[in-house]
Structure 1
Amino acid sequence: MNKLNLFIKTHKDPVPRGKKRNVVYKINCNQCEVSYVGQTGRRLDTRIAEHKKHINSKSSTHSVITDHRLQFGHDFDWDNCEILDVERFYNKRLTAKMIYINSREWKVTF
């Protein structure tokens, strides 16, 4: 049986990666095997911009990305940030993030 609803849902334009919300994401280092796994309820491109801005700030507290950049001089592959999971609820996103961090898929994560 044909339903208009099925036709409409299958022809939606995909949401660009940077505009997705409620995601668990991974950013790889360009110079080594380190990767960072994080989560955000906001747009992914907003969170990535905050990571980049924090690296250049003179803050006394550093994120692990900033620490890696300062200690080794490495940069991250900001343009190829991978979305690992999409989850609307905060606690479920935190659980998913923890599962991805503890998985053996990557040799080094922080």
Structure 2
Amino acid sequence: YEFGPENVSGLNYLIAVDENSYSPAVTWKNRDEDPKTGKMVDRSSEGMGDFHPISWYHEFDGGRAFYTALGHIPKAYENQWFLDHLYGGIYYAATGRGIDTNKNVAK
């Protein structure tokens, strides 16, 4: 995960999170190695600010990519909206086309 400023261009955003609905500095506390000292340190994210995307697609190096941060809990896979989201992303990556989620067919 990357909870800082965007560093990739050309992304087509699908879903974003309102960071006012939670505290990213408290929620996303990480423990990792300080590259200067080699010691383990606690780090916390300040979040991404006004725009925090959690799903996108893009063309890259002659191919296509889809990303979603959703789906961490099994219950998500019982939600038709989420399943349509996944299907649409996979379909785009495979074909370069979108889907009509009302009919779940290619367009």
TM-score, normalised to structure 2, is 0.26
Q: Compare the two structures and name the one with the higher strand fraction.
A: 2
Which structure exhibits the higher relative contact order, with contacts defined as CA atoms closer than 8 Å and separated by 6 or more residues?
Answer: 1
